Each structure stands twice: as structure tokens, then as C-alpha cells.
Amino acid sequence: MSFELLLVVLTLLSGLVWAWDRWLREREGVDRDQDPWYIDLPRTLFPIILIVLLLRSFAAEPFRIPSGSMLPTLQAGDFILVNKSAYGVRLPIVRTRLFGNGEPERGDVAVFRYPVDPSQDYIKRIIGLPGDEIRYQDRVFYVNGERLEQSDVGAYERGDVDGPALVRREQVGDREYQIVHHPDSPSGNFTYTVPEGQFFAVGDNRDRSADSRVWGPVSDDYLAGRAFIIWMSWDSQEGGIAWDRIGKRIE
């Protein structure tokens, strides 16, 4: 059972107990301060669980980064917050849009349900919008014929990648961010047109990311929100908290 589903179930069960208790108090006018624990506990926890569910579903949700597919922007061990209303407010679990018509912009770092297995959440950078022609050639993306300009930053010096790696700065419109290339890896050139209602998402660790180049585009229905800040980070290499990453905005 997912944590989201667990929260919904707990909210419903504790809410039923809370409502039943309120109804019984008003109907019988009895003092129920000495209720057994299985009545008192859910009655007490219901407002807390409800607030957590509402905040997590409609405001901001925490996620943990499990892999290095978004290096150097996000590292394994980063804990991030995701703006759940950035792409429209959606119901929990079914994620049907309630209201709002926000859509990703090119360059957004978005969380979404994995198209191959919707029970999993993935995080990638959106570079292609519905109708865009995406071309990948010699490790450079072209969107509708326009090159996403890159400039060299230097060697990637952290030890969490295999083999030599280079850091480059890439630009999408007025958005800039860093990516990682592995010069010994093949480019895998291709051209692709993004279908309507879909988005093309790629990892910043370009040669070590399974993304839309492998499993196809992301449906609008699968979008969960836009990542915006790192609120905690655990450096597995050093075995401690990475204080310099806490509070860092996700570009």
C-alpha cells in the first residue's frame, strides 16, 4: 500500500470515528471523555491526519532522490519538495484534475508517475512540449530545429559516477542548468515528435538516465508537480548531512 493510499484510508477511518463520536455526544448529551483508546485515538488524530493529507495532496509533497539520473542538479540522498499545484490541483490517488490548467514549461524539473509502472514516481527535466519536434544529435538536443546551447564547465569530480564525465551548462529559452555527459558513451541520435497531451522528459545525467528516449513521453495525467527546493540531503559518500545542499533551489 502506498503512503498516499494509507493516508486516505486513515483519514476516512478516523473521520468516521470522529463524526460518530460527535453525533453520539450531541444526540445523547453524555460525557464521553473516558472513551476506550480505540475511540479516543482516531478521534484525536483525525484533524492532524486530515491536515497532512491536504498539505501533501494539494500544496507540497516530499520526495527522496534514489539515483544519480539527475546529476549534477540532484544527487542520490537529496530530499526535495514538489509544488503539487503547479500543473493543476488533482485528487489524491486517482490524480484527476480538479481545477487549474498549469502545464510544464521547458526546463522544469517535474515529478510524474512512471509511464511503464504508474505505481512508481520519477523525476526528470521537461524539454519537449506537446507538438514539439525533438532531435538528439552528438549529445545535443534540438527543439523545433533550435539547438539547446551548451557550454563547458569542467570535469565532474564527485565519485558517484562511473568513468570520466564532463559538466556542461545547457540553456532552454531563458533557463540555464548544468548537465553531465560521459564522453565514452554513444550518443544515440534520433528525431521524435511529441504527441498532444504528452511531454518529453530527460535526465540531467544524460548518458546514465532512462527517460523519454527509452520509455516514451509522459502523459499530462501522470504529472504530479514541479520540484522547487532541496530541504534535506544525505551524503552517502561522506556518511553525513550535506549541509551545503539544504535550502538549495532546483533550477
Residue 109 in 3-state DSSP? strand
pLDDT in tens, 19-36: 888 887 777 665 656 677
pLDDT in tens, 61-83: 999 999 999 999 999 999 999 99
| pLDDT at residue 43, rounded to an integer | 86
| pLDDT at residue 137, rounded to an integer | 93
pTM across the whole model:
0.87
The residue from 14, 57, 84, 124 that is catalytic is 124
Q: How far apart are CA 211 and CA 233, in angstroms?
A: 24
Q: Is 248 a catalytic residue?
A: no
Q: Are 70 and 204 in contact (CB under 8 A)?
A: yes
pLDDT in tens, 162-173: 888 999 999 998
Pick 61-245's CATH classification: 2.10.109.10, 3.40.630.10, 1.10.10.1110, 3.30.1360.170: 2.10.109.10
| pLDDT at residue 159, rounded to an integer | 78
Q: Are 53 and 8 in contact (CB under 8 A)?
A: yes
| pLDDT at residue 2, rounded to an integer | 77
| pLDDT at residue 1, rounded to an integer | 54
Dihedral of the alpha carbons of 215, 217, 220, 223, in degrees to the nearest 10: 50
Q: Is 84 a catalytic residue?
A: no
Residue 231 in 3-state DSSP? strand
Task: Point out the residues of the chain with pLDDT beneath 50.
Answer: none
Report the candidate in 208, 46, 209 with the shortest Cα–Cα distance to residue 200: 209
Which H or E run includes 5? helix 3-28
Residue 23 main-chain phi, psi, to 5 deg: -65, -45
The residue from 14, 69, 212, 233 that is catalytic is 69
